[in-house]
Amino acid sequence: MLTLQISRLMHIRGIPKPYNYLRKLGLSHNVVHRMLADKAVGIKMYQLQQLCIALHCTPNDLMAWDSAETSLAPNHPITELDRPSENGLTVAELRKMPLEKLDQIKQILREME
| Residue 85 main-chain phi, psi, to 5 deg | -70, -25
14-40 exposure pattern, b = at least 16 Cβ within 10 A, e = fewer: ebeebeebbeeeebeeebbebbeeeeb
Helix (H, G, I), strand (E, B) or coil at 64: strand
Please give the pLDDT value at position 90.
73
pLDDT at 86: 59
Domain covering 2-88: architecture: Orthogonal Bundle (1.10)
Residue bearing the bigger pLDDT, 93 or 15? 15
- Asked if pLDDT for residue 45 goes beyond 90, the answer is yes
Query: Rounded mean pLDDT of the chain?
Result: 87
**69, burial (CB in 10 Å: exposed 0-12, middle 13-18, buried 19+):** exposed
- C-alpha span between 110 and 107 (Å, rounded): 5
Whether the CB-CB separation of 83 and 7 falls below 8 Å is answered with no
Boundaries of every domain in the chain: 2-88
55-109 pLDDT tens trace: 999 999 998 887 777 778 878 888 888 876 556 677 778 888 899 998 998 899 8
Predicted confidence at residue 87, as pLDDT, reads 62
Of 70 and 14, the structure prediction assigns the larger pLDDT to 14
